[in-house]
Amino acid sequence: MLSQDERRLLVEQAILLIEALYVHLPLKRAMHAVDPEQRLKLLRHRLETLSEPAFHAELIAIFTSLRDLHTNYVLPEPFRNRTAYLPFRIAEYFHNDERRYVVTEVKPGAEDRAFKTGIELTHWNGVPIDRAVQNNADREAGSNSDARHARGLAAMTIRPLAVSLPPDEEWVVVTFKHGKQRREKRFEWRVFQSKPGGGNDPLAAAGELATVLGLDAKAELERQARKVLFSPESVVIARRARQQIADSSTAATAGEQLDFSKISQMPDVFAFRTVKTPSGQFGYIRIFTFLVLNDVAFVNEFIRIASLLPQKGLILDVRGNGGGNIIAGERLLQILTPHPIEAERFYFLSSPLTLRICNHNAEFGQWKQSIDQSVETGTDFSNGFSLRPPASYNDTGQRYQGPVVLLTDARCYSTTDIFSAGFQDHQIGKILGTSPRTGAGGANVWTHDFLRQSLPESDSPFKTLPAQASFRVAVRRSTRVGPRAGELVEDLGVTADFVHRPTRKDVLNNNVDLINRAAEILAQMPVHSLTGQLSSKQSLRTLTLKTRNITRVDILHNGRPDRSIDVADGVSRVDLPAHNLSEGVLELRGFRDDQLVVSHRIALGSGT
């Protein structure tokens, strides 16, 4: 139980965050007609009249009213590490534009002859299922109707109590079709202690990750809980992969080994396979999360698994991905395009508190001047800058040359929104959505813990919170680049080029119709390829080029133009003076109709 003083402290810290740091406050006031500051002040005024549940419920409701999955009240212990669940999962599909709800997973041991994967639900506690989901959606924080609906559906059976209200009902009675009959079954809500099933704790980002986080923590907690409840194999694989990699670094190997040509070395992050479709054979990579500590390892593993797949087209699936490390998402873009990547710009709210944080922390120094000037300029926001220097988003270059289709849905959030926006803004490929827009989270989120670290001095306005309670707040908003430069991601999301509403086969049979639709789109996209290899002969080095569907290759040495040659499909050879090629990078740029369509880099040095 929290004391009155502890509750007061929580509310006062919330007021501080919302008034002086929350970067979307002007937008949310306009778009959703909300007044969180006044609600918080009323809560502070009425503290003594509220029970503890009513206090938590009101604080959660105030944050939910912002319709921002970044900005949360994290409940104290014992709620912080608990998840309430029902022993099954439901998904929706469309039949003649009508939403239907089907059980897609049942917790092992909870299934019976009638209640099993594939049954259709008709009612939830006597309420028609579609209305019950919509009622749930109205209590969720998604920033557009599709996002709220998706969040409402997920919350029907899983509630991370760190950031959600517990269910009102202690059990539910579901009505479902069983052959031509309707049956009912009662399920009790149960609670277990959440443990990351091989992933990172989304509520406790530390170190460098804490400054570059773009994550819907609730979605990540739900994803991790689903793994524990429904997929013990995934948890076992994640553990064994970690062990196997640790053993390989110490030369210790024992027992059956995972085959990393079929399983990612980061199985909690990636899954991949070749899909055979009526339109041909393509690669498929699922990115479950961007929540990784090391963006370099993340990008390298993507390159490794992409190289194991067909090179004539890739289906990249980020549905359900709640985001994570923004740098990982933005650095991945370069792997898929020959064009240089321009990272999104991030902006602070202009306030005395953001200025103090920027003054105190060198890494935010470039934002300082514009915030300081806002006293005179009257602007609400700082100038915008990328989170890292521009070169760091282009340090590797294109490594997958085939066309790419990106699969999105309304649960894509934050880093995944930013990645999808970058994918579209750099015209990397087409986006096929199972909903018209992504979840629309465009910001960098900081935890209250990180804020305390950012201003550690004794007169810091950030105080230690009771019982591991916390807050998360969007502190830097992002804007898009390229043809949509300046457009917000928050509340708008990324609009898909094509929409495919999920079918029953999709939700019960590995997204078969969705993948076939993606393959149809891929089959219509051109495939270009360009590779080069250097060999030495006396004072010359011969560059052997293999090209397909390009007409010209420009050769650059350490960024400087060397020569341009016309090519036809097949093999071409170019002699280059060896003394020029001792170190650096040789970059090959392939053109078709004077358009850059593919690139390839060769690292120079010993052995090349």
Supply the minimum distance, in Å, between the C-beta of residue 87 and another protein. 9
Q: Are 319 and 350 in contact (CB under 8 A)?
A: no
- Quote the CA–CA distance of 89 and 158 in Å, as a whole number: 8
Token pair recorded at residue 607: 């052995």
Instruction: Please name the residues in contact with 476: beta carbons below 8 A apart, sequence gap of 6 or more.
Output: 23, 346, 347, 348, 443, 444
Nearer to another protein, 237 or 492 (CB): 237
Supply the minimum distance, in Å, between the C-beta of residue 118 and another protein. 14
Supply the minimum distance, in Å, between the C-beta of residue 298 and another protein. 20
Token pair recorded at residue 416: 């995944």
Token pair recorded at residue 608: 């090349």
Supply the minimum distance, in Å, between the C-beta of residue 472 and another protein. 22
Supply the minimum distance, in Å, between the C-beta of residue 569 and another protein. 29
- Quote the CA–CA distance of 564 and 543 in Å, as a whole number: 13
Closest CA to 218 of 77, 79, 14: 79
Supply the minimum distance, in Å, between the C-beta of residue 82 and another protein. 7
Supply the minimum distance, in Å, between the C-beta of residue 78 and another protein. 5
| Backbone region of residue 311 per phi and psi (left: phi > 0; alpha: psi in -120 to 50; beta: other values) | alpha
Q: How far is CA 414 from the centre of its chain?
A: 6
Nearer to another protein, 109 or 179 (CB): 109
Nearer to another protein, 53 or 483 (CB): 53
Supply the minimum distance, in Å, between the C-beta of residue 231 and another protein. 9
Q: How far is CA 235 from the centre of its chain?
A: 20
Q: Which residues bind another protein (CB under 8 A)?
A: 1, 52-53, 78-79, 82, 84, 107-109, 166-167, 170, 188-193, 195, 197, 228-230, 232-233, 235-237, 240, 258-259, 262-263, 271, 273-278, 505, 509-510, 512-513, 515-516
Nearer to another protein, 275 or 588 (CB): 275
Phi, psi (deg, nearest 5) at residue 17:
-65, -45
Supply the minimum distance, in Å, between the C-beta of residue 126 and another protein. 19
DSSP string spanning 179-233? TTEEEEEEEE-EEEE---SSS--TT---GGGGGSEEE-HHHHHHHHHHHHHH-HH
CB atoms within 10 A of CB 520: 16
Token pair recorded at residue 199: 């992933």
Nearer to another protein, 198 or 439 (CB): 198
Nearer to another protein, 317 or 490 (CB): 317
Nearer to another protein, 84 or 326 (CB): 84
Supply the minimum distance, in Å, between the C-beta of residue 128 and another protein. 24
Closest CA to 396 of 160, 604, 601, 253: 601
What secondary structure letter does DSSP report for 49? Answer: G
Q: Are 312 and 525 in contact (CB under 8 A)?
A: no
Closest CA to 234 of 268, 202, 265, 263: 268
Nearer to another protein, 169 or 569 (CB): 169
- Quote the CA–CA distance of 333 and 393 in Å, as a whole number: 8
Nearer to another protein, 232 or 577 (CB): 232
Nearer to another protein, 339 or 505 (CB): 505
